[in-house]
Amino acid sequence: MDYLANFYSAAIEYFNRVNGDVVQKAWDVAKDNQGVFAGLFALTVSLYFLSVALGYSRGSIQDAGVTGLKIVLAYALIISWADFNEVAGKLIMEGPEEIGAAIAAKMGGVEAKGMANLVKEVVTKVYEWVSQVVKANESWVTPNFVGMLVTVIVVGVGLIPMLLILTFVILYGKFLVSVVLAIGPFAIIAYFFSATRFLFESWVKGLFMGALIIVFGYIMAGFAFGFVQVSIDSMTGGGNFSNDGVIPRAVAIALYLLMVAIFMLRVPEFAQSFAYGTAMHLRGLNGVEAASAAATGARGGVTAMRATGQAAWNQMDREAGRLSALSQELTARRRGRG
């Protein structure tokens, strides 16, 4: 029972510890070796300016200055990303958890600090209700078939699958956000180069998708837990644990938990559709993309005008050739008559 109640909190705690030990320490390496990175970036900028000045690289001094600013920005992002990753990761991962726990607590009329404590409280309440049903139907004469059936239905069919799927979906969203945030500097740098801008767009989509998986998963779990708590409180208040009243209620709770688990499996797909649609909308508002599209349209219009003018000129040339041939034929006929 203790392992089942603490399964979700243990999984999330283990993920947070691994995430902090791996990702955070990896970026701390760059932060601790600022001198090495500063030397590499300074050498890169110096070699690039020297190649432009000597004529080995195409481009003007203005282009070299813009590229130098991009390299300086890359250096600042890489050096400071350890602190930014910690703050942003905490905001994106812990914010939805607090929202979901608050919604569930309001619906269920309970006080729970964090989703892990709420999951533990709901699992404990369900298990206590099943235990009351088992004790109420104990008999010295016949086996407790009702208690065993209720335990299998509620715990085996409803509670355990829902906990496993909830933990899997939330861990998937957290892992996606963690990985996307870890490669943040390289994706942001890729935005400033047209050939690699698609990497930044993919990074934004991945960040949106991971955050939305966490938000939607916690909110759905909050609604489900609130409903389960209210249902169990109403069933426990009457004290009706007879055979005709317990089995339908157990089946109803198990089916509801199973339905929540099925909906939880659809959360990543729904979050992906929502995130990709939002990212495409933001891409349409991008001034660089709009300017590029306008320039492409202008070039297309000029090309079309040139093609139209060339076609008209060719048609006029053909008509002039026909008139010249006709005049030559008429001249030849007149000479023949004379």
| DSSP structure string for 129-158 | HHHHHHHHT--SSS--HHHHHHHIIIIIII
pLDDT at 293: 43
Percentage of the chain beyond pLDDT 90 is 0
pLDDT surpassing 70 at residue 159: yes
pLDDT at 238: 53
Q: Is 1 in contact with 127 (CB distance < 8 Å)? A: yes
23: tokens are: 């990702």
Signed CA dihedral, 177, 181, 187, 191: sign only: positive
Mean pLDDT of the chain: 72
Q: How many CB atoms lie within 10 A of CB 38?
A: 12
pLDDT at 113: 65
pLDDT surpassing 50 at residue 136: yes
Higher-confidence position of 311 and 67: 67
Q: How confident is the model at residue 239 (pLDDT cuts 50, 70, 90)?
A: low
Considering only 133-137, 149-153, 205-209, 239-243, which range has the smallest mean pLDDT? 239-243
The CA distance from 311 to 317, in Å, is 10
Digit-coded pLDDT (tens) for 99-127 = 766 776 676 566 656 677 777 777 787 77
pLDDT surpassing 70 at residue 233: yes
pLDDT at 284: 45
Q: How confident is the model at residue 2 (pLDDT cuts 50, 70, 90)?
A: low
Digit-coded pLDDT (tens) for 36-69 = 777 777 777 777 777 777 776 666 777 777 777 7
Q: How many CB atoms lie within 10 A of CB 296?
A: 10
241: tokens are: 């644990």
pLDDT at 81: 78
Tokens 């040339």 -> residue: 317
31: tokens are: 């932060």
Give the mean pLDDT of 300-328.
57
Digit-coded pLDDT (tens) for 251-286 = 888 888 888 888 888 888 888 888 777 555 544 444
Q: Is 159 in contact with 126 (CB distance < 8 Å)? A: yes
The CA distance from 170 to 217, in Å, is 7
199: tokens are: 């990497």
pLDDT at 199: 84
pLDDT at 245: 67
pLDDT at 326: 59
pLDDT surpassing 50 at residue 318: yes
pLDDT surpassing 80 at residue 95: no
Domain locations along the chain: 2-26+84-295
Q: Is 82 in contact with 68 (CB distance < 8 Å)? A: no
